[in-house]
Amino acid sequence: MPSLPNPNPNPRSRETFVEKPFVGQPCSSLEGCSGGAACICSNPRECKCECPKEMGYSVSSDGKSCRRTRRRLKEKCRSDVDCGAAFSECTSGGCRCKSGFQRDGSGGCKPVAYKCVNHAEPLKFDNKLTTCIVQKMHRDSEADDVIGQDEGSTVAVALPSANSSIALSPRRSSSSSASTADTKRCP
C-alpha cells in the first residue's frame, strides 16, 4: 500500500497518511476501503474492495470508486430496476410507490391498508399497528385472567413490542354471557 507524506507536516511529528485501497484492491475489514467501496471477504484471508451491488452501487467510470445506481423515491429513473425502495416503480420518469402503497417518511413505501391472511383487522394499540409475537400457552399458566375458558384449553397471547401483554381467547359461541371488557378475541 502506498504511503503518502502528510500534506501539513509537523516537524515534531512523523505522521504519514496511509491511503485506503480502491475498488478491486486487497483490503482488511479493519482498514476498510476508499471511494465508497466495501471490504468483502470470500474467505478470512481473501478480502477485496467491491461496490455493494445489492445496495444499489456499481463501479464508477474512474474504476476506483463506487457510484449509486439505484434511485430514491422522487429521483429520476429509466426502469423499475433503478428504484431502490421496496414496493416502488419507475413511472413518469421518477421513482414512485406502487399502487396500494404510500411513502413512509423514511425513504420507503408502506401499504395503504393492512390486510391479515384471516381477513381480520390487524392488531392495533392507540390506533397504531403493533408488531407482536403470538405464543400458545396452557390455560393454567399466566393467562388466568381470560374469562370463560374451559379448564384444559389453550390460549394465544400477543406480546406487543412495549412488553405489555394482552390475552387473546379462542372464539366462543355467542351464548356466552361473560364480560370480556379486558379480553381481545381472536377473529
Domain range for 153: 114-170+183-187
Mean pLDDT (the chain, rounded): 72
Residue 88 lies in a domain: yes
- 96 and 154 in a single domain? The answer is no
How many distinct structural domains can be found in the chain?
3
Residue 95 lies in a domain: yes
Read off the C-alpha cell for 30. Answer: 479493519
- 30 and 87 in a single domain? The answer is no
The 3-state secondary structure of 129-168 reads ECCEEEEEEECCCCCCCCCCCCCCCEEEEEEECCCCCEEE
Global pTM reads 0.38
Residue 7 lies in a domain: yes
Q: b/e map of 77-109 (b: 16 or more CB within 10 Å)?
A: beeeebbbbebbbbeeebbbbbeebeeeeeebb
- 38 and 97 in a single domain? The answer is no
Residue 94 lies in a domain: yes
Residue 166 lies in a domain: yes
Q: What is the pLDDT of residues 80-111, one digit of tens each?
A: 988 989 899 999 999 999 999 999 988 999 88
Q: What is the pLDDT of residues 6-58, one digit of tens each?
A: 444 555 545 556 789 999 999 998 889 999 999 999 988 899 999 988 777 88
- 187 and 124 in a single domain? The answer is yes
Residue 119 lies in a domain: yes
